[in-house]
Amino acid sequence: MPEIRRLPSDLVNRIAAGEVVERPAAALKELVENAVDAGARRIGVVLAEGGLARIEVVDDGCGMGAGAMALALERHATSKLPDSLIGPDGAIELVTTLGFRGEALPSIASVARLTIESRELGAAEGWRRVVDHGALVADEPAALPPGTRVRVEELFAKVPARRKFLRSARSEYAACLDVVRRLAMARPDIAFTLETLGEGSKRTVLNLQGGEELATRVARIIAHELKDNSVPIELERDTPHGVMRLTGVAGLPTWNRGVADHQYLFVNGRPVKDRLLVGAVRGAYADMLARDRHAVLALFLELPPQDVDVNVHPAKTEVRFRDSAGVRGFIVSGLRQALATGDRRSAQGPDRAAMARWQAEPLSSPFPSGEGSGMGGLPYPAWTGAPLPNPSPRGEGLLLREMAQTFAMPQGRAEEAAPVPAEAQSYPLGIARGQVANTYIVAEAADGLVLVDQHAAHERLVLERLRAAGAADGIKRSQALLVPDVVEMDEVDCDRLEDAAEGLARYGLVIERFGPAAMLVRALPAALPKADSAALLRDLADDIAKHGRQEDSGALLLAERLELVLATMACHGSVRAGRTLSVAEMNALLREMEATPRSGQCNHGRPTWVKLSMEDVEKLFGRH
């Protein structure tokens, strides 16, 4: 049998570096977290070639002396665990600092050239220590202001097997930028700067001032538009060990992205990428976003240290919760409550491209042959497609321009409006004035013109009615069918619906198995009295097949699964595009939208209404 022996310390550090220092961004994360734990008020980061050539972190924290610096480069040496947490009776889960394992600095020093310069506050001089891939190169006094400067160069230069697996400088820079953004977002009280070096020049990428409000810091990092298209999050719940708190900023469902790279999640001030939290966010936005779109948000979860384990992975980006189901439910309910607390907004500013098309004037002939029929049957002169002359203040060119235009048959419809009630000023969505293409409601509000997609809006209203019916014993709100419907389906689909039958009954849909390949519909929800039973059951089976599968964090609860299929039920009971509505019906729809949570977007994440302010209308006519 081969002899068992201890590995050399430098080899141990290189092995550990494979977990702690996977890429430049991982090393940068450890260095910035050390600066935060040192009590820094300002942190500066400098990168060269995306961190492949150089990473430098400068802070004004407490600093270190020569002895402490030497000890910090030894494996599993740290100042972040007090005596009360060390020993057989210690509770390491009560740690409150970002770092505590004592692995980062020795691991980085074993695979790069590491230079540490530090000076304690009040000390006469500082100290410098240089370690080149595990070998001590310099240990000497240094002149610098109070604080610490750490420089990492030639990362993996002597470990070619690791170096070749790194990505391009641009990809590594993107990862480093994401690390700084997340840590800066977690600590709005600290000033952060990020600079890049390239070909003798220095460029400032981030320059964040300390002492900012959380919403301001989040908007500056993610996007300035987030401030106007988001809702604040503030929720608390008692736990056996203390208080669990959720704060942050959540973007409106209609202000979304195609990838999930703008979801920032924090647990006790620590940036994490946890599957449970990502799943909770997805569940909260389930019926408000298209399935290929992702929410934009920054969530800060604070809970007693006893309820979360941060010592799961050396990178400390994963956590484990004592009550994972309770945390998930808390986040889902908190997000839904924030998105529904009296806020009927959507990201309803008119699209710039659409506005530009409103203002553009046609420059070519509307006739394919260049000729048309004018008033009295007289032909218009042939038009070559050259730009039409703009009318002068005296009117020259106006007649020619008007003759060259054709007007399609009007698709709008207006009725004589009823007298405007005195309380109309309090209607955010205004008073209905007409209907365009039997699809869009035109309303006049006190501050502008409102366009409403009648199908999308009514779909949201029906969904909220179904939810309310489920919460208030929906069985009593079902409508029994005189003759039950028999719907033939695949046996697998019947199995899925049979498993969900008890939950669906709470929302008024009463079904039961009718042989191996059929379902019997005995009652429909009162909100869907004219729904097509066969189409409804097939869509529900498809939704359950897609959303009822095992998730990374475990199977979704039945109630959560039902929430995902309620949108399908609502779609079958909503007003279709193309239906003519009376003015009274249009106004009733507007009033219900104003009183319904989340009415700013449909069940698929699209806006249900947009508003064109009077200022924008005046700009269209050159009156502003």
- Going by pLDDT thresholds of 50, 70 and 90, the confidence category of residue 204 is very high
pLDDT at 266 exceeding the cut of 90: yes
- Work out the mean pLDDT of the chain and round it to a whole number: 77
- Going by pLDDT thresholds of 50, 70 and 90, the confidence category of residue 82 is low
Percentage of residues in the chain having pLDDT higher than 70: 71
Give the pLDDT confidence score for residue 531 in this predicted structure: 73
Q: Which residues sit opposite 297 in a β-bridge?
A: 250, 263
Give the pLDDT confidence score for residue 556 in this predicted structure: 40
Residue with token string 């039945």: 558
**CA-CA distance, 28 to 174, in Å (whole number)?**
12
Domains of the chain, first to last: 9-208 (3.30.565.10), 214-340 (3.30.230.10), 412-624 (3.30.1370.100)
Between 257 and 472, name the one with better pLDDT: 257
Report residue 515: phi and psi, to 5°: 85, 180
pLDDT at 153 exceeding the cut of 70: yes
Give the pLDDT confidence score for residue 620 in this predicted structure: 76
pTM higher than 0.75: no
Between 195 and 169, name the one with better pLDDT: 195
Give the pLDDT confidence score for residue 469 in this predicted structure: 65
pLDDT at 76 exceeding the cut of 80: no
pLDDT average, residue stretch 70-97 = 62
Alpha helices in 323-417 (DSSP H): 324-340, 352-359, 398-403
DSSP string, 229-247: SEEEEEEEEEETTEEEEEE
**CA-CA distance, 284 to 258, in Å (whole number)?**
17
CA 543 to chain centroid = 23
Structure tokens, 511: 């079904």
- Going by pLDDT thresholds of 50, 70 and 90, the confidence category of residue 502 is confident
pLDDT per position as a tens digit, 435-480: 888 889 999 888 888 899 888 888 888 888 777 765 454 444 678 8
pLDDT average, residue stretch 510-526 = 89
For the chain, helix (H) and strand (E) counts, in that order, are 17, 23
pLDDT average, residue stretch 13-34 = 79
Alpha helices in 197-314 (DSSP H): 214-222, 275-284
**CA-CA distance, 123 to 587, in Å (whole number)?**
74
pLDDT average, residue stretch 344-348 = 56
The mean-pLDDT minimum among 318-327, 464-473, 493-502 falls in 464-473
pLDDT per position as a tens digit, 98-114: 755 567 788 888 889 99
Give the pLDDT confidence score for residue 571 in this predicted structure: 67
CB contact at 8 A, 30 and 104: yes
Helix (H) or strand (E) holding 321: strand 320-321
- Going by pLDDT thresholds of 50, 70 and 90, the confidence category of residue 168 is confident
Give the pLDDT confidence score for residue 244 in this predicted structure: 93
**CA-CA distance, 246 to 214, in Å (whole number)?**
13
Give the pLDDT confidence score for residue 568 in this predicted structure: 66
Longest dimension (CA), the chain: 109
The mean-pLDDT minimum among 345-359, 392-406, 496-510 falls in 392-406
pLDDT at 77 exceeding the cut of 50: yes
